[in-house]
Chains A and B, each alone.
Chain A
């Protein structure tokens, strides 16, 4: 029994402090991203989420340049980008993708510049860390920051829950009920910016949409009820995160390389596999019944 367990979980997994920190931060981030993500999927704003993550890379790299924690940079730039998107009218469905793309292009261009300037001053793997994440190298001081930003995003979603749901499903109905559609959308975009920034710290800026959209889209395949979907998304997100961390930890012993595989790769793959499974399985049982 013990030997079986040791084959699955490599020795030292739970006693390593960086693994424990990764598990805690990963779980917090996955819960926030899953909760916020359910609305991203309902509202069809995956592209905005992707854009906020990519633009966040410029924040992460400028934080490196300034010598502060990258999370501050991710959050600052993502929130600013959300503000710009809101200003040029990204909430309107018509031309929304285009406007998102333009903001993303300009923001990603800036990221290119900052990363370039950053790699000039330091030869460490800052570029790879910002873009693809390295959850095992987090510092303990990040934990309170993650908790606070995560709490702000969750409280925003919970406080807006019912009006946000109505506005997301039918903006016309929301407007007819005199709900401030634009204000709600703007606040939601801010919550999304926070969730994406948190996600960027764990699995990297350009992969951060995986945690936002993947578990939520899978959850919405499993249930039609938004409340349950949020719970499912959080559970699936935490599951993918923890399993990803475990696999990455185990991969140090895998032949022939004996060289750790990136956590982000496992998390992203697990998220995609879960989504494809949720798409295929119900369809099959439905045809069997019919």
Chain B
């Protein structure tokens, strides 16, 4: 499990989880789960196009992730945001279907693009992944305060010179950047799981933003490691484990919140009922 070719997988998965967990904090804060689902899925077409014309997958992924992000931003500017997201997503996937029909790609390769392949991570992906992660984390540090303000108090952020639309676009580009690097590991279909499960769980345990970001990263790394180990052992797809374990971490967060808030509320209700009993 820790032999030569697996070392790359462990390193890349850890980087992916750190970025996913950090960007995911804002995804959950802004309630943008649909966008986090749409951008990586849309970038699937980019990977298909890259294999069609024979260029590096990362370039194809990047172009289509940015294209999806801008498409969602432009179409959703006025009008319904969820409709714009859905239509941008299905159009990108439709393009993906077209490109696939042109290639003589075999089903397993399509499959590993969608759902991830641990053994598919090669050494030459390491450099670009680290570079992209560095860019992504640097952008996150720079945008942290304005984006936090704009996500929680959009009006007062606007008054301080951060227009909501600019913040939204910056956020979409951030998700696109994170997506580009994560897709080759977890696959287009399940990366959003890593971006919402761990941060949602983290928010159940703490309300302080920085602590939530840190906890989200820790949980995401845990999920990614467990998924890779289990995938290696069973040979089942990484995406399956990422999806299920992320959901489990969210369920744990919900249970924690429930257990913590249940007793006081019950006592409170008894008091209220007593007050109203004639």
* A positions within 8 Å CB-CB of B: 41, 44-47, 49-50, 54, 95, 97-98, 100-113, 115-116, 119, 123, 125-128, 131-132, 204, 206-207, 209-210, 213-214, 217, 257, 259-262, 264-265, 267-269, 271-272, 275-276, 279
Across the two chains, which residue of chain A brings its CB closest to B100? A128
Most buried by A among B97, B98, B115, B190: B97
Structural contact, A217 and B80, CB atoms closer than 8 A: yes
B68 contact set on A, CB distance < 8 A? none
A259 CA to B111 CA, complexed, in Å: 22
Contacts known (A101-B196, A105-B193, A257-B102); A110 close to B243, Cβ less than 8 A: yes
A247 to chain B, nearest CB (A): 12
Structural contact, B190 and A108, CB atoms closer than 8 A: yes
Q: Which of B67-114 contact A (CB under 8 A)?
A: 75, 79-80, 82-83, 85-87, 89-91, 93-95, 97-98, 100-102, 107-108, 110-111, 114
A128 CA to B190 CA, complexed, in Å: 18
Contacts known (A207-B97, A264-B97); A109 close to B239, Cβ less than 8 A: yes
Structural contact, A47 and B41, CB atoms closer than 8 A: no
Contacts known (A125-B107, A132-B97, A261-B98); A268 close to B90, Cβ less than 8 A: yes
Across the two chains, which residue of chain A brings its CB closest to B236? A113
Structural contact, B111 and A127, CB atoms closer than 8 A: yes
Structural contact, B91 and A108, CB atoms closer than 8 A: no
A131 CA to B107 CA, complexed, in Å: 11
A210 contact set on B, CB distance < 8 A? 86-87, 90-91, 94
Across the two chains, which residue of chain A brings its CB closest to B97? A132
Identify which of A104, A110, A111 contacts B37 (C-beta below 8 A): A104
Structural contact, B93 and A206, CB atoms closer than 8 A: yes
* B positions within 8 Å CB-CB of A: 28, 31-34, 36-37, 41, 75, 79-80, 82-83, 85-87, 89-91, 93-95, 97-98, 100-102, 107-108, 110-111, 114-115, 187, 189-190, 192-193, 196-197, 200, 236-237, 239-244, 246-247, 250
Across the two chains, which residue of chain A brings its CB closest to B98? A265
Most buried by A among B75, B90, B237, B243: B90
Structural contact, A46 and B244, CB atoms closer than 8 A: no
Structural contact, A105 and B197, CB atoms closer than 8 A: yes
Across the two chains, which residue of chain B brings its CB closest to A50? B86
A190 CA to B87 CA, complexed, in Å: 22
SS class, residues of chain B in contact with chain A: helix
A137 CA to B75 CA, complexed, in Å: 34
B31 contact set on A, CB distance < 8 A? 95, 97-98
A167 CA to B140 CA, complexed, in Å: 40
Identify which of A108, A213, A267 contacts B86 (C-beta below 8 A): A213
Identify which of B85, B114, B239 contacts A46 (C-beta below 8 A): B85
A232 to chain B, nearest CB (A): 15
Structural contact, B83 and A102, CB atoms closer than 8 A: no
Contacts known (A213-B83, A213-B87); A269 close to B243, Cβ less than 8 A: no
Structural contact, B107 and A113, CB atoms closer than 8 A: no
| Contacts beyond the supplied A106-B247, A259-B102: 10 A-B pairs with Cβ under 8 Å | A44-B82, A45-B82, A47-B85, A95-B31, A102-B250, A116-B237, A128-B97, A132-B100, A209-B90, A262-B98
B76 to chain A, nearest CB (A): 11
Structural contact, B101 and A262, CB atoms closer than 8 A: yes
Structural contact, B197 and A102, CB atoms closer than 8 A: yes
A213 CA to B37 CA, complexed, in Å: 17
Across the two chains, which residue of chain B brings its CB closest to A104? B37
Across the two chains, which residue of chain A brings its CB closest to B112? A116
Structural contact, B107 and A46, CB atoms closer than 8 A: no
A252 CA to B108 CA, complexed, in Å: 26
A37 to chain B, nearest CB (A): 10
Structural contact, B101 and A269, CB atoms closer than 8 A: no
Most buried by B among A46, A105, A113, A257: A105
Identify which of A103, A127, A275 contacts B87 (C-beta below 8 A): A275
A276 contact set on B, CB distance < 8 A? 75
Q: 24 A-B residue contacts at CB 8 Å?
A: A41-B83, A46-B80, A95-B31, A97-B33, A98-B28, A105-B197, A105-B242, A105-B243, A108-B243, A109-B190, A109-B240, A109-B247, A112-B190, A115-B111, A115-B115, A125-B107, A127-B110, A132-B97, A207-B94, A214-B86, A217-B83, A262-B98, A262-B101, A268-B94
B200 contact set on A, CB distance < 8 A? 98, 102
A126 CA to B239 CA, complexed, in Å: 19
